Structure 1
């Protein structure tokens, strides 16, 4: 795995987590 792919994977995971939290609280960040 290249560092670029690793970074992309990490950011994607992080974004999904943020999105789940957002849906739970009902607050729209984006």
Structure 2
């Protein structure tokens, strides 16, 4: 079955990294890193 490019591991990796970075910015900074 044809797999769209946006479902490749590279794309998923980029999306996960982006979401993690956004999460770091959106979560209020507390004492613990």
Greater relative contact order: 1 or 2 (C-alpha under 8 angstroms, separation 6 or more)?
A: 1
The structure with more helix, counted as a fraction of residues: 1
Q: Which runs of 5+ in 2 are unaligned?
A: 1-6
TM-score of the pair, normalised by structure 1: 0.65
Number of equivalent positions? 23
Larger radius of gyration: 2
RMSD: 2.0
Q: Which runs of 5+ in 1 are unaligned?
A: 26-30
Moved over 6 A (4+): none
TM-score of the pair, normalised by structure 2: 0.60
